[in-house]
Amino acid sequence: MTAPPLLEIRGLRTVFGTRSGDVVAVDGVDLAIAPGECLGVVGESGSGKSVTFHSVLGLVRPPGRVEAGEILFDGRDLRRLRPDELRALRGREIAMTMQDALTALNPAFTVATQLVETLVAHDVGMRTGRAARDKAIEMLRLVGIPEPERRIDDYPHQFSGGMRQRVMIAIALACRPRLLIADEPTTALDVTIQAQVLDLLAEMRATLGMGMALISHDLGVVAERCERIAVMYAGQVVETGPTAEVVAAPRHPYTRGLLRSIPSLEDPDRPIEPIAGQVPDPSTLDAGCRFRPRCPIAEAGCATPIGLGEASPGRRARCIKAAA
Amino acid sequence: MSAAPLLAVRDLRKHFDLRRGLRRLVQGRGGNTVHAVDGVSFEVARGETLGVIGESGCGKSTLGRTILRLHEPSAGTVVFDGIDLGGLDAAGLKAMRRRMQIIFQDPYASLNPRRTVEQIVGRGLALHGDLPAAEIRSRTEAMLARVGLAASHLRRYPHQFSGGQRQRIGIARALVLAPEFVVCDEPVSALDVSIQAQILALLGELKRALGLTYLFISHDLSVVAHVSDRVAVMYLGEIVEIGPARELLTRPAHPYTQALLAAVPKLSQRRGERPARLAGDLPSPLSPPAGCRFHTRCPRAMPRCRSEAPRMTKLATAHHVACHLHTSEAT
């Protein structure tokens, strides 16, 4: 990457206080997204992928707190912003879509109310209801909602799952943000609807020239849509690099394990090899490699702290055997 | 299939009548009856895995439950090992349940949170037959060991387990009576991929070791392709295509099967050659479209598809499709 990144996260550490001590949900995460780039963030439940981006937007609430790290957006550290500065930025420069549109949208208000609210809150030129409503209808049309003039006055429950996701995308994109964080945008959707929504996101990204973080547990979704991916495990990034290279020749044993454990439609007879064991309990982690209890190639050296080192140009992996 | 099939389903239908309150809510959307399963016929041979694939609301879960008589069928017959389940009284049906079991999708919702693992898994043994308590306990333990859990887990409650372990408990519960036929209803959908692979491997192992026959229901085409010998594709309560897994995946005949396959994200990026997407959503099962039910979304719909429902046509041995593109008059 030669262009300065749009978003750069350095050494992010987010913890949640519990009665039995702090649980580190995100531990030393480094990530960067260039302007207009799509970064795929993949990991299983509890890997810290959502918490990482909640931290970016200042959405981590007590007992959680961002303990360390820099979150540079366009060179400005978001952790140093005043709450009102952050509020002005959120929704306008960086927007986020949530996994479950039915819970993310307010069931008691029409789509019109929720879209217009976003526009009025952020856009000085939208003080009048009429202009904002016209703009809202235009956004709904842009995301492919049929008959937007009529549907804008419907409530969220009157839309299907795919259409609801489109409504949420319309709200997120209403202020033409420079970065969209799409958190599991298609997890609740059927595969044909998923394809429609992913197509829409790709189209919107091209139209608006925005950067995007596509968070998903589905390696296939991320691999198909993103130039670069970051694989997370137990609160850390364990591998990053160009998607095609990572999928073709993963450097971290966890990435390799993930790829081998997914049944392939192209080759359904290939045996799948599960990763043994399960994700570690975050309260029992030590300083060494977090994957080593499940790792087939772990050795004594894995108990020492291991950084996210360069494995080859443009690729990094958190493994002492990555350079091989 | 030369030998008699283990399971034969003929023109099975399950319709749900909406109650008055709901009926009012959906007024203007058509009928008052949800045609969840609407005339489904197929056979499953002993030792075979038949995958059932389709999107939410296509009726695949209702199909599995209606076969097991967890739902009373509206019409049609289910014959298991030569016995028509419709002709059985309560005692006869109970006896059949030893031989036909189900593994549910959600390992969080399908286990009673107030029962220990021992009670959950041992319950079937206690209900069927009069085994002494010690025997129930030893069989329960043996079953748990078989699914990868320890005897020390017997006294624990479901909330003390991870999702993958809970699904192992659900599998143990289903298999403890040594059934011959198991409906697997989205058994891995709620699990993370690395755990999903563990459960799929376990289901495969158990099938081989115990000689099981599976009806494997899933929305995930890659998973179904991996576990199934044959695959049935459902759309709005009907089977639109059924055939050997490999053939159906490499030569899908129905435009809906083709669209499903095209929509699955591939690990290898092939930019530029985006296949055509299915437009729109699934129509309401309250008023399925006339003619071919898929014609409202079908990229290759013809005039006759709007009025005339296509019949199942044989394409090759065991490969059948219900589509006018493949009926002789179309060509």
Q: Where are the domains of chain A?
A: 1-93+184-265+272-324, 101-176
Best mutation target among B49, B108, B189, B194 (most A Cβ atoms within 10 Å) is B194
Say if residue A313 is exposed, middle or buried (CB neighbours under 10 Å; 0-12, 13-18, 19+): exposed
Q: Is B194 within 8 Å of chain A by CB?
A: yes
Nearest-Cα distance to chain A for B192, in Å, is: 6
pLDDT score of A324: 55
Say which DSSP state B31 is in: -
pLDDT of A108 above 80: yes
CATH code for residues A1-93+184-265+272-324: 3.40.50.300
pLDDT score of A1: 47
Which residues in chain A have Cβ-Cβ distances shorter than 8 Å to B277?
192, 195-196, 199
Average pLDDT value for residue range A167-196: 90
Residue A13, helix vs strand vs coil:
strand
Q: Is B195 within 8 Å of chain A by CB?
A: yes
pLDDT score of B147: 94
Per-residue pLDDT tens digits of chain B, which is 331 residues long: 457 899 999 999 999 887 666 555 555 555 678 889 999 999 999 999 999 999 888 999 999 999 999 999 999 999 999 999 999 999 999 999 999 999 998 878 889 999 999 999 999 999 987 899 999 999 999 999 999 999 889 999 999 998 889 999 999 999 999 999 999 999 998 888 888 999 999 999 999 999 999 999 999 999 999 999 999 999 999 999 999 999 999 999 999 999 999 998 887 755 555 566 788 778 888 888 999 999 999 999 999 999 999 999 999 889 999 999 998 654 4
Cβ contact A190–B56 (<8 Å): yes
Which residues in chain B have Cβ-Cβ distances shorter than 8 Å to A201?
none
Q: Is A273 within 8 Å of chain B by CB?
A: yes
Cβ contact B266–A224 (<8 Å): yes
Nearest-Cα distance to chain B for A266, in Å, is: 8
Tens of pLDDT, residues A34-73: 999 999 999 988 899 999 999 999 999 999 999 999 999 9
pLDDT score of B20: 60
Which residues in chain B have Cβ-Cβ distances shorter than 8 Å to A269?
246
pLDDT score of B324: 95
Question: Which helix (H) or strand (E) segment is B115 a member of?
Answer: none
- Identity of residue A260: R
Q: Residue B286 domain-assigned?
A: yes
Mean pLDDT of chain A: 90
Best mutation target among B108, B203, B228, B267 (most A Cβ atoms within 10 Å) is B267
Residue of A225, A263, A275 with shortest CB distance to B225: A263
> What CATH number should be reported for the domain holding residue B249?
3.40.50.300
pTM: 0.88
pLDDT score of B271: 53
Which residues in chain A have Cβ-Cβ distances shorter than 8 Å to B198?
274-276
CA–CA–CA angle A324, A319, A13 (5° rounding): 150
Cβ contact A265–B225 (<8 Å): yes
Residue of A195, A272, A278 with shortest CB distance to B200: A272
User: How many domains, chain B?
Assistant: 1
Q: Which residue has the tokens 């099938």?
A: B207
Q: Residue B124 domain-assigned?
A: no
Average pLDDT value for residue range A201-213: 93
Which residues in chain A have Cβ-Cβ distances shorter than 8 Å to B219?
190-191
pLDDT score of B291: 94
Tens of pLDDT, residues B220-266: 999 999 999 999 999 999 999 999 999 999 999 999 999 999 998 88
Residue of A223, A259, A273 with shortest CB distance to B265: A223
Q: Is B267 within 8 Å of chain A by CB?
A: yes
Percent of chain A whose predicted confidence (pLDDT) is above 70: 97
Which DSSP string do the residues of A268-310 spell out, in sequence order? Answer: TTSPP-PPPS-PPPGGG--SS-TTGGG-TT--GGGGS----EE
pLDDT score of B27: 55
Q: Is A267 within 8 Å of chain B by CB?
A: no
pLDDT score of B331: 41
Which residues constitute the domain of residue B12? 1-47+58-88+215-263+281-331
Tens of pLDDT, residues A235-272: 999 999 999 999 999 999 999 999 999 988 888 888 88
Percent of chain A whose predicted confidence (pLDDT) is above 90: 62
Coarse DSSP helix, strand, coil percentages of chain B, rounded to the nearest 5 percent? 35, 20, 40
Q: Residue B134 domain-assigned?
A: no
Q: Residue B141 domain-assigned?
A: no
Nearest CA in chain A to B25: A158
Picking from B268, B184, B190, the residue whose alpha carbon sits closest to that of residue A267 is: B268
Which residues share a beta bridge with A232?
A237
Q: Residue B198 domain-assigned?
A: no
Cβ contact A265–B264 (<8 Å): yes
- What is this model's ipTM? 0.84
Residue of B194, B249, B277 with shortest CB distance to A257: B194
Q: Residue B166 domain-assigned?
A: no
Best mutation target among B27, B192, B221 (most A Cβ atoms within 10 Å) is B192
Burial code (b: 16+ CB inside 10 Å, e: under 16) for A238-254 equals bbbbebebbbeebbbbb
Cβ contact B262–A44 (<8 Å): no
Question: In chain B, which residue ranges form alpha helices assigned H by DSSP?
Answer: 20-25, 60-67, 90-97, 117-127, 133-146, 163-175, 193-210, 221-227, 245-250, 255-263
Q: Is A261 within 8 Å of chain B by CB?
A: yes
Which DSSP string do the residues of A64-92 spell out, in sequence order? Answer: EEEEEEEEEETTEEGGGS-HHHHHHHBTT
pLDDT score of B270: 57
Average pLDDT value for residue range A231-238: 96
Which residues in chain A have Cβ-Cβ distances shorter than 8 Å to B200?
263, 272, 274
Q: How confident is the model at residue A122 (pLDDT cuts 50, 70, 90)?
A: confident
Nearest CA in chain B to A277: B195
pLDDT of A214 above 80: yes
